[in-house]
Structure 1
Amino acid sequence: MADLSSLKDLGTAAPEASAPVHVRKVDAQGRSYATGKRKNAVARVWVKPGSGKIVINGRDFTTYFARPVLQMILQQPIVAAARTGQFDIVATVAGGGLSGQAGAVRHGLSKALTYFEPGLRAVLKKGGFLTRDSRVVERKKYGKAKARRSFQFSKR
């Protein structure tokens, strides 16, 4: 670098082609893994190509989540990505109630699908499936009956 004109050439040079931001993450068995969270529930989800079987904690998802609403919540990412019946899903979920667990599995499934097939990220992101729902129960404060409710006021 003899003079400042060589610095000008450095700024106009084309940037090198960098690696893609979202790459495929698959283990030796051909599965992708992700963790999903909702309220106090944590789900570990594995996705692999298959016939569309969904197993949660060793049981079929229709017996584990008996309510149709929870089954619908669980299947939302697969339906949005138009991949019904193409992946086998195995999940272990712990903590919280059934609603939180269904949301955790949905979050983990969405993340695992994007790791397996990065092209699905735009569709799942638009549907809001990749965002962790951070709403949790508010803690109880001292001097209160519950988190916000006060004890009954007595004038006398």
Structure 2
Amino acid sequence: MNTNFEYIFQKSNIGIGRRKQATARVFLTPGNGQIIINKTAGEKYLQYNIEYLNKILFPLKQLNLEQQFDIIVLVRGGGLTGQTDAIQLGLARLLCKMEPQNRVALKPHGVLSRDARVKERKKYGLRKARKAPQYSKR
């Protein structure tokens, strides 16, 4: 965990992923498969949820690179699910930027697609985005 963060964050190789309100900046360094999210161990940050960890590591597993890189992430906004999806997208984009032929392997699995669904804004006269006040005839 004693990583020189200032050195890593100055590198030009950065993958940016977004989902809902979450934005993740992903950096890769040669290593042994550690995940560091917001200067915290990835397992602890994701509350030891195996599904979240597997989702993040999915692009690396598809390319058989799990034990070759350490993943360092700065993530803001949203909840854990949105952040996990944002990290996965950022990692997949970074892998494609590093080696263009990785795109062929990752594209069929849908990890390069940005999920553009976000919460709809509330409209005036309504209780939520679409929920109207109860109608009373009498």
Could you tell me which runs of 5 or more consecutive residues in structure 1 were left unpaired when the two chains were aligned.
1-26
1:93 paired with 2:75, answer yes
Letter in 1 for 2:44: T
Letter in 2 for 1:56: I
Q: CA deviation at 1:114?
A: 1.2
Partner of 1:16: none
Partner of 1:40: 21
Distance (whole Å) between structure 1 residues aligned to residue 34 and residue 83 of structure 2: 18
Moved over 4 A (4+): none
CA-atom RMSD, angstroms? Answer: 1.8
Which residue, 3, 21, 38 being the options, matches 1:57?
38
Which residue, 115, 119, 126 being the options, matches 2:101?
119
Q: Identity over aligned residues, as a percent?
A: 43
Distance (whole Å) between structure 2 residues aligned to residue 62 and residue 51 of structure 1: 15
Q: CA deviation at 1:68?
A: 2.1
SS of equivalent to 2:36: strand
Number of residues of Structure 1 aligned to a counterpart in Structure 2: 129
TM-score when scaled to structure 1?
A: 0.76
Q: CA deviation at 1:30?
A: 7.5
TM-score when scaled to structure 2?
A: 0.86
Letter in 1 for 2:37: I
Q: Contact between 1:32 and 1:48, CA under 8 Å: does it hold in 2?
A: no
Distance (whole Å) between structure 2 residues aligned to residue 117 and residue 107 of structure 1: 16
Deviations 1:14-73 (A, max 9, x none): xxxxxxxxxxxxx9x877311111111111111122211111100111111122222222
Distance (whole Å) between structure 2 residues aligned to residue 117 and residue 86 of structure 1: 14
